Amino acid sequence: MSEIDVVILAAGKGSRMKDNLPKPLHKVAGLQMLEWVCRAVRKIEPKNIIAVQAPNEDFSSYADETVVQNEQLGSANALQTAFSKVQAEKIIVINADMPLMTDQSLMDLVDTGEGFDAAVLATTLKTPFGYGRIIPIGDREVVEQIVEEKDATVEQRTIKLVNSGVYLFKTDYIKRAIEAVKTDNAQNEYYLTDALAGAKIVQARDWRDLLGVNTQQQLAAVNKIARKRINNQLMTNGVTMVDPATTYIDANVVIGTGTIIKPGTVIEHDSVIGADNEIGPYAHLREKTVTGIDVHIGNFVETKNARIGDHTHIGHLTYVGDAEVGQAVNIGAGTIFVNYDGKNKHMTQVGDRAFIGSNSKLVAPVTIAAEAITAAGSTITDDVPKHTLAIARQRQTNKADFWKRMPHEDFALNYDKKNQ
């Protein structure tokens, strides 16, 4: 296969998103859209990945090279801006707002486009609103013309074959052809599509790979598809999901075989969940949660930056943040790992087989040794040695005949009257 450079067009303003975040940095399943695109193109082993960015942006951590498009003059101008960095015989051009793109679709473009000066990924949509329409030459799978929707006639808008904005070019060809591109269109921009006459039309296997994002509604739609793909792959690998539709797993999450995920669970990026765990319902495992085998994390438990050992049980209503928890630990309901002092985060360590009583507060930095116990309702501020019971709460005081001094009596009497 010829060497290929990839040019990612990432300089668009994204004004229809109606927020202040650069469009390529909006997240889909926990990853920026630009990172999704880079992951897909890396799998085809390009020589170079070049991101075209706006003057006030810096995408150098995503791509091998970056270039700045100083004025938004259209896709052809954006590609021209990148020519100084292009060295390979061929170029793939792709937009930064296509997080569902797969390496398989890109390889189909490369393979089917072999021998042509240009090729375009295309698909047929029942409702092609917003997409440029591809007009083929007769029944041949070759482009006669690509018309942007704003420039299309009423008849042309009935065409269902649409342009994805993903192209393969021979470098020598596109450097020549782009010189002839004009701005005589509704946008007064240099359209790259004007250099695609005669291009090979490559039908995508899955139309969803080609979905772009221009609005918050479209962002939500591709999020739903991405998460469904993630969940399906995890279930294929042996993870049980009671209700995949209400299970939200980010990219960069690893889950072991035999683990059961219950409804309402969220597991965020860079988390590693071991085999045979039981998670949820309504658990929130934030970034960098790592569990061993046979761990139970129950309903309304939140974790973050926590390593949790084998056979540990965290039943419900608990926060475990910035922690190292050993094996076979029981953490009672309502426990809080108090990790933040208003400026810095601090670590809590809990040893093997420790028993943390319900409603304990573990004020970090603190260490609970192996086989130590905290009494229910305690606020632990000092280390607890092995085999020790720590009690940190005020001794109970009972005050006799206190009932009539409180408003509870009136409530009880009113209840009794209503139910006589």
415 marked as part of a ligand binding site: no
Within 13 Å of residue 49, how many CA atoms lie on the same side as its CB? 23
Give the Cα separation of 51 and 127 in Å (integer). Answer: 30
H-type helices in 119-203, by residue range? 171-177
- Do the annotations mark residue 286 as ligand-binding? yes
By residue count, the chain amounts to: 420
Is there a binding annotation on residue 11?
yes
Report whether 214 belongs to an annotated binding site. Answer: yes
333 annotated among ligand-binding-site residues: yes
Q: Which of 26, 284, 296, 316 is catalytic?
A: 316
Element (H, E) at 385: none
74 marked as part of a ligand binding site: no
Distance CA 341, CA 344 (A): 6
163 labeled part of a ligand binding site: yes
Backbone region of residue 305 per phi and psi (left: phi > 0; alpha: psi in -120 to 50; beta: other values): left
Instruction: Tell me whether residue 387 is one of the annotated catalytic residues.
Output: no
Q: Following DSSP, what letter does each residue of 319-335 receive, concatenated?
A: EEEEEEE-TT-EE-TT-
Q: Is 109 annotated as a binding residue?
A: no
Query: Residue 97 annotated as binding?
Result: yes
User: What contacts 395, CB < 8 A, 6 or more positions away?
Assistant: none
Quote the CA–CA distance of 275 and 255 in Å, as a whole number. Answer: 7
Query: Does 340 count as an annotated binding residue?
Result: yes
> What are the DSSP E strand ranges found in 266-354?
266-267, 272-273, 278-279, 284-285, 289-291, 296-297, 301-308, 313-314, 318-325, 330-331, 336-338, 348-350
Confirm or deny that 184 is annotated as ligand binding.
no
Please tell me whether 339 is known to bind a ligand.
yes
Catalytic site residues? 316
- Feature table: binding site for Mg(2+): 97, 214
- Feature table: binding site: 9-12, 23, 69, 97, 132, 148, 163, 214, 286, 304, 319, 330, 333, 339-340, 358, 376, 393
- Feature table: binding site for acetyl-CoA: 333, 339-340, 358, 376, 393
- Feature table: binding site for UDP-N-acetyl-alpha-D-glucosamine: 9-12, 23, 69, 132, 148, 163, 214, 286, 304, 319, 330
